[in-house]
Amino acid sequence: DIQMTQSPSSLSAFVGDRVTITCRASQTITKYLNWYQQKPGEAPKLLIYAASSLQSGVPSRFSGSISGPDHTLTISSLQPEDSAIYYCQQSYSFPRTFGQGTRVEIK
Amino acid sequence: QVQLRESGPGLVKPLETLSLTCTVSGGSISGGSHYWTWIRQPAGKGLEYIGRIYSSGRGSTNYNPSLKGRVTISLDTSKNQFSLRLSSVTAADTAVYYCARDGSYCGGDCHSYDYWGQGNLVTVSS
C-alpha cells in the first residue's frame, strides 16, 4: 500500500494568512493526488483533483501543486469557514489511501 | 446534481454481517464511466477505502485487501442503488460509512471522490 504522510498534523493561523499543507507519498504517484476538506459532522468535500485542478464551485483561494516528491495544498487567504480537517488521497494505485489529516484552526 | 444517501442499521452484533445501501439520485448509476465506492471513518480517525464497483457492464469490483475477503459490493441498476456487505464484524468495524462516487476526470485518467453521502454510523456491539 502507498503510505500518505501529511504535515503538519495541525496548524493555527489568522484570517487572511497564507496556509500550506504538504502531503508526501511513500512512492511516486505523479499527478494522482486529490485534496478534500472535512468539517465536523460532514462528509469530505473534494477541493482539488489531479494534484492541481480546482473542483467546480471551490473558491479560487484553494490551489494545489507538486514540487519534487511533495504535493502541496495552499489556501492563499485563510477564511473563517476554512476551519476544517484536510486530507490528501492518492488515486495512483489500489488500495486507495488517505493521509492522516491536517487540522486547520483559526486564531 | 448527483446526490447519494446511505441507509441501513446503526447497530450490528459482533460476528454478524453489516449491510448498507446507497441510493443515488439526480443521475443514473449506470451512466458515465464512474465507479461507486464505500469509504469508512472510525470516530476521530482518518478515512479508509473499502472498495468500489464499476457502473456498468459486469460491474467489476476492487476491494481493500486489509478487509481480508469480508467485503462484497454489489450494484442494483433498477433501483439506482449499490450496496455494501461486510461479514464477521468486530468492534474494529465501528465507523461512519460513506458511499461516494469515484468520478472520472482528465479524460478518464484521473479519479476522485466528487460526490458523497452524508454518512451512516454503524456501531458493532452486542
Q: Which amino acid is at B118?
A: Q
Query: Is A9 in CB contact (< 8 Å) with chain B?
Result: no
Residue of B nearest to A91 (CA): B111
Alpha carbon distance B53, B51 (integer Å)? 7
Please report, in angstroms and rounded to a whole number, the separation of the first and last CA atoms in chain B: 39
Query: Is A34 in CB contact (< 8 Å) with chain B?
Result: yes
Of A14-18, B40-44, B55-59, which range is least confident?
B55-59
Q: Is the pLDDT reported for residue B57 higher than 70?
A: no
| Reduced 3-state DSSP string for B28-46 | CCCCCCCEEEEEEECCCCC
Query: Is A20 in CB contact (< 8 Å) with chain B?
Result: no
Summarised one tens digit per residue, pLDDT across range B67-105 is 989 999 999 999 999 999 999 999 999 999 999 999 988
Q: What is the mean pLDDT of residues B48-58?
A: 89
Are the beta carbons of A46 and B64 separated by less than 8 Å?
no
- Asked if residue A17 lies in contact with residue A78, where contact means CB atoms within 8 angstroms, the answer is yes
Considering chain B, what is the average pLDDT of its residues?
A: 94
Instruction: Read off the C-alpha cell for B30.
Output: 449506470
Q: How confident is the model at residue B32 (pLDDT cuts 50, 70, 90)?
A: confident
- Bridge-based pairing of strands B11-12 and B120-124 is parallel
Summarised one tens digit per residue, pLDDT across range A13-59 is 999 999 999 999 999 999 999 999 999 999 999 999 999 999 999 99
Are the beta carbons of A101 and B111 separated by less than 8 Å?
no
A16 to chain B nearest CA, in Å? 27
Are the beta carbons of A46 and B114 separated by less than 8 Å?
yes
Instruction: Give the distance, in angstroms, between the CA of residue B36 and the centroid of all CA atoms in the same chain.
Output: 7
